[in-house]
């Protein structure tokens, strides 16, 4: 099986190193800049359990050079995908599986939910460019339950978790998902082939939609967030709104926010991916994690005052610190405007 990893950051490095080192697939990677240079010099590198796992990497910045793949894992930051997606076409043949290994709500999420209509989610796929470049029938949904980080280009650290959930975007079971699951299992992942991967995506979002932006805003680890009564209540209110949205789109969550808080608190003082990005000066993935939930809520008629506040505050934080695109400049100004 020919597998290409698009983007060799924390998640891409985790997937690529494991797959390449296992021999379960013929692995290549599409990368650029300092990450590409590091991969060409050092190969794949993954620090786990105190040991460094290394293996040669077939790395390129040209999708045409790498050619058509059996599986393409997309592991780039959400904001980068709409402009990148058309350039991935040389990797994608008629039978290629495209697996977005990304945070939050993916571009394809609304594709088969009647309540959301036919329009793309502007928060994650403005103008629908990604949907036009990547055929929905070739998409395999993916949820990753693992904590990883990059300390330098091309070097990934794995902290906790081995879980991968994969499933047909349209739902149900399939032979192609089963085969993909077998390859991933050979690379040491704990794989679940899910008939309801859209629910699995929403459930993870429900659990971390508040944790990520609150941690970025405050600089706090999750234990401190959940130990503050007022902040925990704020998170609970947002989770209740997200649960109400889930009910409208066939992704109802049976767990209570308090139940989820207990589970998360057991993980201790960990930093969310958004806090890691903020500390490193990287763009934050706010739209796919909070903006998409807000947009879906608007489409199905669920009020989201807490989610709105969370989005607005984090968006402003991001703009002030250069971590989120600036607001569009006003097109005109009244002559009587004192500013």
Parallel/antiparallel/unpaired status of strands 92-100 and 26-30: unpaired
Q: Rounded to whole angstroms, how far apart are CA atoms 215 and 273? A: 9
Question: Which positions ≥6 away from 76 have C-beta within 8 Å?
Answer: 6, 7, 9, 12, 84, 102
- Catalytic choice (2, 77, 89, 204): 204
Q: Rounded to whole angstroms, how far apart are CA atoms 153 and 46? A: 12
The yes-or-no answer on residue 204 being catalytic is: yes
Question: If we measure between CA atoms, which residue out of 164, 160, 167 comes closest to residue 141?
Answer: 167
CB contact at 8 A, 95 and 137:
no
Burial class (CB in 10 A: 0-12, 13-18, 19+), 205: buried
Q: Rounded to whole angstroms, how far apart are CA atoms 220 and 147? A: 17
Q: Rounded to whole angstroms, how far apart are CA atoms 110 and 311? A: 20
Q: Rounded to whole angstroms, how far apart are CA atoms 263 and 182? A: 29
Question: Which positions ≥6 away from 103 have C-beta within 8 Å?
Answer: 78, 212, 273, 285, 288, 289
Question: If we measure between CA atoms, which residue out of 148, 150, 278, 292 comes closest to residue 213?
Answer: 278
Active-site residue list: 204
């Amino acid at each position: 099986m020919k597998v290409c990893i698009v983007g060799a950051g924390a998640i891409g490095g985790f997937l690529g190193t494991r797959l390449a080192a296992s021999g379960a697939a013929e692995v290549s990677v599409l990368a650029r800049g300092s990450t590409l240079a590091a991969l060409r010099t050092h190969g794949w590198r993954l620090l786990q359990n105190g040991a460094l796992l290394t293996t040669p990497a077939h790395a390129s910045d040209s999708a045409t050079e790498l050619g058509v793949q059996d599986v393409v894992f997309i592991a780039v930051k959400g904001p980068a995908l709409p402009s990148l997606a058309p350039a991935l076409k040389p990797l994608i043949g008629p039978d290629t599986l495209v697996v977005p290994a990304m945070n939050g709500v993916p571009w394809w999420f609304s594709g088969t939910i009647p309540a959301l209509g036919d329009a793309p989610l502007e928060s994650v796929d403005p103008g629908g460019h990604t949907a036009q470049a990547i055929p929905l029938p070739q998409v395999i949904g993916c949820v990753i339950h693992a904590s990883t980080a990059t300390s330098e280009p091309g070097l990934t650290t794995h902290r906790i978790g081995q879980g991968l959930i994969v499933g047909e975007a349209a739902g149900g079971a399939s032979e192609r998902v089963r085969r993909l699951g077998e390859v991933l299992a050979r690379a040491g992942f704990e794989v679940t082939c899910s008939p309801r991967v859209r629910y699995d995506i929403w459930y993870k979002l429900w659990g971390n939609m508040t944790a990520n932006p609150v941690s970025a805003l405050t600089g706090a680890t999750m234990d401190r967030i959940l130990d503050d009564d007022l902040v925990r209540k704020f998170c609970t209110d947002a989770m209740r709104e997200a649960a109400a949205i889930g009910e409208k789109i066939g992704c109802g969550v049976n767990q209570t926010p308090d139940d989820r808080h207990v589970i998360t608190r057991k993980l201790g003082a960990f930093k969310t991916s958004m806090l890691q990005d903020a500390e490193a000066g990287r763009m934050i993935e706010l739209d796919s994690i909070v903006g998409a939930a807000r947009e879906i809520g608007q489409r199905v008629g669920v009020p989201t005052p807490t989610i709105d506040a969370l989005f607005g505050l984090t968006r402003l934080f991001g703009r002030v610190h250069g971590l989120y695109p600036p607001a569009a400049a006003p097109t005109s100004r009244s002559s009587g405007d004192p500013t």
